[in-house]
Amino acid sequence: MSPISNLLSVLLLCLIGINVSVYGQDLETISSEAVITASRIPQESYKTGRSVEIIKQTDLIEYPVQSVDELLRYVAGVNTNMRAPFGVQNDIGLRGSTYSQVLILIDNVRFNDPLTGHFNNNIPISMAEIDHIEIIKGPAAVAYGSDAVGGLIHIKTKVYVATEESRSLESLVDMSFGEHNLISSDAALIMKKSKWLISGSQMTRIADGPVYTNPNYLAGITEDSLYNGDFDLRTYSVSLGYLFSPRTKVLLRSGYDYRDFNAKYFYTTGPFDESRETITNGWGTAALLHSVGKHKMEVNLSVKSVDDLFVYNPLFPPNTHNTRQYIGQYNHIYSLDTRTNLAAGVQVVDKHIMSSDRGDHNNTNSGIYAMGSRQFGADVNLNVGVRVEHDENFGTEVLPQVSISWKKEDYAVFRASYGKSIRAADFTERFVSSQISNLSPGRNIGNPDLAAEVSHSYDLGVDLYQYYGFNFSATAFYRASQNLIDFSERNASTISNVSNLQEGEVYLYADNIAKSNVIGIEVSADRKWKFLKRSFFDMRLAYTYLRTNADTGQLSKYISNHPTSNFSSVLNLGIYKLNFMLASNYIQRNPEFLQGIGEIKESYLLNNFKLGYNTLPNVKLYFQVHNIGNVEYQEVLGAVMPGRWISFGVVYRVTNEDF
């Protein structure tokens, strides 16, 4: 079947039996606040022609999670591979993409790490300072540049979204303590005083972690029979903004993120893997936003510096890496009339690395784009765009994108989109372990001759508002890719462009997988019931199905390492001052097993629970349990996830409008 036929067939299954009978709020009311920047042009989500998810800060606080990436497990279309809890490290994909094919933005600036996509979620901002998160599923490379193959995750802070002069002081503190000597804190202070916008935040996650049996001890390789899944995560951030006028704003932000954790089997399953990693991330950005008449302009400058110390085994010399990334971009929006908006911009990204095992390298990427949105009549919205991107790795590429939406009265939106995306290999994929002599078997080895990944994506979807009281969304999607980059098992005799391997041994070699395609469906629904006085029941359901086919006989490491099915539910019951929340995932995967290392199960059910009690108007006590069923599972082979984990906490939140 052709890609379009596949999409139509899957979408038809979603829509069979729908007999629209709508009441309650209409589409305009529901989406009036959902103004997003999926195409750089701010517009209501239903006009974008895209599948969009918005996470509010209240979700980050109320869900039984301790980090942004943990909450994303409950979003339709998101696939995750978690190596450790509490935000230590989690590979996030969208619609079956790899972790390197998702673009992370903070306040309109790309944050993806030049060393490796594993670090993309090391966000140097506490959850308490986040205003909301926009998740745009499907290609977004035209507006934001390479890496946005599966989509993008855009984090927007409270200071960035503030547009009006006001006087307020907002404080939020979330403290918890738990098993394995867990200490967790998340705090922010946001001050708005006349023209000034000031914020500061900190986030801490520290624990000894569970104790595990060391497979290397059983194999007679190490004297340590046990090891801890310990971690020490600390994040600090400050920002300063000034409103020169309602039309002009200047913002400065600086963030620092420190991570030290046991990384055993995070990246390899080698017999000598006793890995530990320490990462420090310094990030700064400046922005100027100005509007006059029909014009809106934004200039962003950003710098990011990351130091990584990786100890594979104390018997071997450690790997040290320093990367620097400089970004400059200019974006301009012009409202031609009430129905037509145009946008254009330019972006330059300069990347550098100094590494003991990868060597010293640099890479420059630049791009220009133009986009337009047009409303036809009262019901149809069209978005088109094109980007010309140049990179030293792949030369010059032209990336088109188009999306269309049709609003059916006030209860439904039908949408479709197409886009081309590209992603060049990062420094790790190209050069990892290239400077280590006599490299031990089973380790990753880079390929300096990698071609860039190229993908074409299509989707069809429908959103229904207040359908029997539910908000419902369904999307069928297809992505065809070539030159996909992944690590696969290769004998040293078949690798000719690397000279530090042991003859006849097997390694995980970065290579271009010939072709791959992903077909899938994402469905979500939510509804809220109110009963009695100050009581409610809120239900959110999501399902994602993914099928990935690769035109290769080699075993790849990341391309197909995602759930084939993920059903999630979030049930939230509030009765007066009590609040009960149960968040669940039922996950199906392609099973894997390696003797002595571990097993990725074909299916497993995870449940996280949170019980809250509002003792005072601004104070909430809570009891939280991760992995209620004490399920043994792994999502990356060898990286053991913890069992049941209990913690207690308190949230204090107050806003003083008279400050």
Q: What is the CATH number of the domain that holds 309?
A: 2.40.170.20
* Whether 601 contacts 589, CB under 8 Å: yes
The bridge status of strand 166-178 relative to strand 182-194 is: antiparallel
* Whether 507 contacts 490, CB under 8 Å: yes
Give pLDDT, residue 394: 86
83 closest CA partner among 238, 262, 225: 262
Domain with 652 in it: 3-392+404-656
pLDDT tens per residue across span 80-99: 999 999 999 999 999 999 88
Give pLDDT, residue 612: 96
425 burial type by CB count under 10 A (0-12 exposed, 13-18 middle, 19+ buried): buried
Q: Is residue 486 part of a domain?
A: yes
Q: Is residue 634 part of a domain?
A: yes
Give pLDDT, residue 85: 92
Q: Is residue 397 part of a domain?
A: no
pTM of structure: 0.91
Give pLDDT, residue 34: 59
Q: Read out DSSP for 468-496?
A: TTEEEEEEEEEEEEEEEEEEEEEEGGG--
* Residue 189 CA: distances (Å) to CA of 62, 205, 277, 434, 644: 19, 19, 31, 45, 33
Q: Is residue 345 part of a domain?
A: yes
Give pLDDT, residue 552: 59
Number of residues that make up the chain: 659
Q: Is residue 172 part of a domain?
A: yes
Low-confidence ranges of the chain (pLDDT < 50): 1-33, 555
Give pLDDT, residue 553: 52
What is the helix, strand, coil percentage profile of the chain, to 5? 10, 60, 30
Q: Is residue 522 part of a domain?
A: yes
311 closest CA partner among 352, 266, 351, 346: 266
119 closest CA partner among 294, 8, 338, 282: 282
Give pLDDT, residue 253: 96
Beta-sheet strand order (sheet of 130-137): 51-56, 130-137, 151-157, 102-106, 109-110
Number of domains, the chain: 1
Q: How many C-beta atoms lie closer than 10 Å to residue 563's C-beta?
A: 24
Q: Is residue 399 part of a domain?
A: no
Q: Is residue 177 part of a domain?
A: yes
The set of long-range contacts for 470-474, using a CB threshold of 8 Å and a minimum separation of 24, is 470/525, 470/526, 470/527, 471/30, 471/525, 471/526, 471/527, 472/523, 472/524, 472/525, 473/51, 473/76, 473/522, 473/523, 473/524, 473/525, 474/11, 474/14, 474/15, 474/521, 474/522, 474/523, 474/524
597 burial type by CB count under 10 A (0-12 exposed, 13-18 middle, 19+ buried): buried
Give pLDDT, residue 15: 41
Give pLDDT, residue 1: 42
pLDDT tens per residue across span 361-420: 999 999 999 999 999 988 999 999 999 999 988 899 999 999 999 998 888 999 999 999
Give pLDDT, residue 9: 46
Run of H or E including 30 = helix 27-31
Residue with tokens 């030293």: 392
Q: How many C-beta atoms lie closer than 10 Å to residue 437's C-beta?
A: 6
